[in-house]
């Protein structure tokens, strides 16, 4: 896809310098650790009318289950790295507020709100921003949060064009946390976002 600016943030403590991000734009790569710079580059891409996709390395939706014994169990595809386990809950809560901050900051810079989507076909056909989840399962040979962001983004870029079939998590009935962030940040007023799963790319 031409003029595609693809972003990914690896979630972590900002005060402890555990936040990292990567950007791929038509074969050129950029990385950093500053969340403000991450948001600013997203805003620049939107201003340039580029195709913009943003991944966050944290659970972006949780399953909605009828069985009370399963309400906090792993999403289908997570294996032993459940969203409700220690590391998952930490990433979820940090990622929730950091994703919201980024989206609010982008809107502030632009002075208008982008339109979010979780649908690849809609992304290709409109000027919407595609939101996706990075699911980083192994840190072998990766020593920094930037490396994790780069690894997830490379997997996402490899999958582009086949995104309808490669989501690592299979949960049709969900509560979308990134959908809630989009609504709270003013990117959308469509409450149907709250029950739509996004693409999950495993790295």
Query: What's the chain's length in residues?
Result: 203
Considering the entire predicted model, what is its pTM? 0.94
The model's pLDDT over 70-103, given as tens digits with 9 standing for 90+, comes to 999 999 999 888 888 877 788 899 999 999 999 9
- Block residue for tokens 């310098």: 17
Q: Answer for the pair 78, 72: CB distance below 8 angstroms, yes or no.
A: no
The model's pLDDT over 7-30, given as tens digits with 9 standing for 90+, comes to 999 999 999 999 999 999 988 999
The helix/strand/coil state of 134 is: strand
Task: Tell me what percent of the chain is helix, strand and coil, each rounded to the nearest 5.
Answer: 35, 20, 40
Domain boundary assignment for the chain = 4-202
Q: Answer for the pair 198, 118: CB distance below 8 angstroms, yes or no.
A: yes
Helices 86-110 and 35-47: crossing angle in degrees, nearest 10, is 50
Residue 50 φ then ψ, to 5°:
-80, 165
Name every residue whose Cβ is closer than 8 Å to that of residue 67 and which is 6 or more positions away in sequence.
Answer: none
**Bigger pLDDT: 142 vs 157:** 157
**How far is the C-alpha of 72 from the C-alpha of 22, rounded, in Å?**
31
Q: What was the pLDDT predicted at 146?
A: 94
Nearest Cα neighbor of 167 from 181, 156, 180, 182 is 156
Grade residue 160 by pLDDT with cuts at 50, 70 and 90: confident
């Amino acid at each position: 896809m031409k003029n595609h600016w693809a972003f990914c943030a690896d979630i972590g403590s900002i005060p402890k310098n555990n936040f990292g991000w990567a950007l791929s734009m038509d074969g050129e790569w950029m990385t950093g650790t500053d969340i403000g710079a991450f948001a600013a580059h997203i805003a620049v891409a939107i201003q340039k009318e580029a195709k913009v996709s943003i991944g966050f390395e944290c659970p972006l939706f949780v399953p909605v289950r009828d069985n009370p014994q399963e309400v906090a169990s792993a999403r289908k595809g997570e294996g032993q790295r459940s969203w409700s386990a220690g590391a998952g809950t930490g990433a979820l809560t940090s990622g929730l507020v950091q994703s919201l901050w980024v989206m609010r900051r982008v809107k502030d810079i632009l002075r208008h709100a982008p339109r979010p989507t979780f649908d690849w076909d809609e992304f290709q056909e409109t000027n919407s921003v595609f939101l996706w989840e990075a699911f980083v399962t192994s840190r072998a040979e990766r020593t920094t949060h930037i490396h994790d962001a780069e690894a997830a983004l490379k997997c996402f870029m490899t999958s582009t064009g086949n995104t309808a079939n490669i989501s690592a998590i299979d949960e049709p009935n969900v509560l979308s946390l990134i959908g809630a962030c989009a609504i709270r940040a003013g990117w959308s007023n469509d409450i149907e976002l709250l029950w739509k799963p996004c693409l999950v790319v495993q790295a």
